[in-house]
Amino acid sequence: MILLALFACDFLNTTTDCVQLDVIPAVHTAYSMNQTDVQVSACVCSLEGELCSEENLIPMVEVQMSTNLGQLSSENLFLSNGRGVVGITGGGNVGLAYIQAALGSFRGGGSIELTDSIPFTKFELTSNAETVQAGESPVTLMVEIEPSYDGQPVDLSVYPSDIGQLSPSNQVAAYGGFAEFLYVPPSEYYQNETLRFIAQSGSDLSNSVFLELTSATNFFIQPASITLPLGEEVTFRLQGNVLEPFWTVSGPSDVTCDGGPLSLCDGKTEVKIAVTSCDGIGSTFCNVTLRATDDVTGEQVSASIIIQ
């Protein structure tokens, strides 16, 4: 599947002045005489180029749909919750069909290969969960293929690819039309993330499955890790919901907060920290752990300061 998330972004005052339109066909290749679903999403533009997530969807909008090949089930698609589905039928025409969504001056598109041969009648990826928290049990992802043969190779990819692990991490063989994977979330992760999974067999791609990875805590420290020379000051910020933070450190070191004792940090969500002395710095490096604890809930997060 060729996915294009085109951002026609006219930044005026805020990021809400930019609408991102994602157009995602259900499969990469489709039989021209059948109708194939295409998911359309409208959201506030992502500066990182990510797909629309539930947090930034724009509900109650109508987008205009068009294609260069075949016929769409609707030329005006109403997105009540920020997402909707339109069907495309080739009517016997073959080739690369480009489906475009438009909302005012904003555009987004995706493409699907329409063929005169019947590909998989079913290539479906499902998950046994919609959300998972860092440190929780793995999530099962199942691939179902029709028609299929025993030993058929199937791959699974996740985006972003560096958060957690897939098991197995390489290609598996489908038997009886099924292949199973596990997604193992990271033991620690201090922000919420939308993960996208997609299976592949040969040149065919399955539908996308989205999984919300949530932080094990209500807040986290940024940066989570940093390397500094002795005495250099750096700003740490608490992101998320924290009520009454107080700060502590561990490690053979002395630190200052905002130029004074560490107690000056208490109650603050943004602090300037400097490590002024550190035992062992003469050998290799010194690792200092900075911790923030919510005095109301007892939740604690940490960041690593490496002094070289």
Residues 157, 262: one domain?
Answer: no
Q: How far is CA 164 from CA 13, 137, 182, in A?
A: 36, 12, 11
Q: Given a cut of 70, is residue 16 above it in pLDDT?
A: no
Residue 284 pLDDT level (bands cut at 50, 70, 90): low
Same domain, 51 and 99: yes
Lowest mean per-residue pLDDT among 47-51, 112-116, 214-218: 214-218
Q: Are residues 56 and 151 in the same domain?
A: no
Examine the domain organization and report whether 181 and 259 are in the same domain. no
Closest CA to 21 of 112, 101, 111: 101
Residue ranges in the chain assigned as alpha helix (H):
none
pLDDT at 283: 46
Give the CATH number for residue 65.
2.60.40.10
Tell which of 191, 214, 237 closes a domain: 214
Do 203 and 230 reside in the same domain of the chain? no
pLDDT, residue 43, reads 94
User: Is the model's pLDDT at 183 over the cut of 90?
Assistant: yes
Helices (DSSP H) in 27-158: which residue ranges?
none
* Closest CA relative to residue 3, chosen from 99, 93, 71, 130: 99
Angstrom CA distances, 274 to 187, 237, 301, stand at 29, 14, 19
Least confident segment among 42-46, 262-266, 299-303? 299-303
pLDDT score at 295: 85
Work out the burial of residue 134: count CB atoms within 10 Å of its CB; fewer than 13 is exposed, 13-18 middle, 19 or more buried.
buried
Region 57-69: mean pLDDT is: 96
Residue type, 115: T
Q: How many CB atoms lie within 10 A of CB 27?
A: 21
| Residues forming a β-bridge with 24 | 39
Using 50, 70 and 90 to split pLDDT, how confident is the model at 219? confident
**Shared domain check, 248 and 264:** yes
Q: Are residues 296 and 251 in the same domain?
A: yes
Question: How far apart (Å, rounded) are the C-alpha atoms in residues 13 and 181?
Answer: 44
pLDDT score of 19 more than 70? yes
**38 with 23: CB under 8 angstroms?**
yes
pLDDT digits (tens, 9 = 90+) for 137-153: 899 999 998 877 678 78
Rounded to the nearest integer, the mean pLDDT of the chain is 85
The reply to whether 91 and 15 lie within a common domain is yes
Both 167 and 206 in a single domain?
A: yes
Domain count, the chain: 3
pLDDT greater than 50 at residue 58? yes
Tens of pLDDT along 164-179? 899 988 788 888 889 9
Residue 64 and residue 102: Cα distance in Å, rounded?
Answer: 5
Sequence-distant (≥ 6) Cβ neighbours of residue 205 within 8 angstroms = 1, 27, 28, 123, 198, 199
Query: Which of 63-77, 105-119, 243-257 has maximum average pLDDT?
Result: 63-77
Q: Are residues 132 and 82 in the same domain?
A: no
**What is the pTM for the complete model shown?**
0.42
* DSSP SS3 for 5: coil
Say yes or no: 68 and 8 in one domain: yes
Looking at 93, 115, 137, the residue that finishes a domain is 115
Position 226 scores a pLDDT of 86
Last residue of a domain, one of 214, 246, 280: 214
Residue 226 and residue 148 share a domain: no
Task: Say yes or no to pLDDT of 14 above 80.
Answer: no
Contact call for residues 115 and 29 (beta carbons, < 8 A): yes
Across 52-61, 235-244, 259-268, least confident range: 235-244
Return the pLDDT at 87: 96
- Bridge partners (DSSP) of residue 57 are 43
Structure letter (DSSP) for residue 50: P
What domain range includes position 63? 2-115
